[in-house]
Amino acid sequence: MDLLKEKIKTEGEVYAGNILKVDCFLNHQIDCRFLSEVGKEFHRLFKDDGVNKVLTIEASGIAIGAMVAQEFGCPLVFAKKTKTKNIAGDVYTTPVESFTHGTTYDIMVSKRFLGKGDRVLIVDDFLAVGNALNGLIKLVEDSGAELVGCGTVIEKGYQHGGDRLRQQGIKVESLAIVESMNHETGEIVFRD
């Protein structure tokens, strides 16, 4: 997606430790006009796959998921990272290791909102080693729903999480795949 690559190059910042900061348009401040285009692009990529539910994870996946679900005219479900008083009853749950925070946390989805008959498109902002996506895929499998595929805005190709999922036969579409970054020069190279 050329618009995204352009935004990453002009507005993204590269820091030591493989950190690409895009919090000015994607995951702290959100450019909602741009995000509408992201929703349309994921719809174009998955429109023939019978998607009837979009699944993401709080917090930074939610705005993206909302735009995608709006395009498909289907519900969005977001997995929660903490159990609140307001989730009653049974949940599907699995542990996820956070690359960013260096910790492990549980993600969960109420059994009422995921199950047989659902054809699920998983979306998220970033795909690096793939821990969050693998957790979400596990919840889909546990629920008896069908996984249609995964859509991520930015994939860090050099961490190979996306490649591993594709090797398993899962349809993974990323709107930009970063092949390498240099925090000293700020250079970002995309996969063709």
Q: How far is the CB of 7 from its own copies (least distance, A)?
A: 13
Supply 52's token pair.
């009837």
Tell me the window of 2-10, 63-71, 143-151, 170-178 that interacts with its own copies (CB under 8 A).
63-71
Query: Of the candidates 3, 6, 9, 19, which one interacts with its own copies according to CB under 8 A?
Result: 19
Query: Of the candidates 11, 37, 49, 70, which one interacts with its own copies according to CB under 8 A?
Result: 70
Residue 106, H or E segment: strand 104-110
Instruction: Tell me how far apart the alpha carbons of residues 19 and 75 are, in angstroms, rounded to a whole number.
Output: 32
Contact set for its own copies, span 145-174 (CB under 8 A)? none
Query: Of the candidates 5, 30, 129, 142, which one interacts with its own copies according to CB under 8 A?
Result: 30
Instruction: Tell me how far apart the alpha carbons of residues 192 and 189 are, in angstroms, rounded to a whole number.
Output: 9
| Residues 89-110 as b or e (16 or more Cβ within 10 Å = b) | eebbbbebeebeeeeeeebbbe
Contact set for its own copies, span 88-107 (CB under 8 A)? 88, 100-101
Residue 188 touching its own copies (CB under 8 A) = no
* Identity of the residue, 70 or 134, whose beta carbon is nearer to its own copies in the bound complex: 70
All residues at 6 or more sequence positions from 140 whose CB lies less than 8 Å from its CB, including other chains? 55, 114, 118, 120, 122, 146, 147
Residue 58 touching its own copies (CB under 8 A) = yes
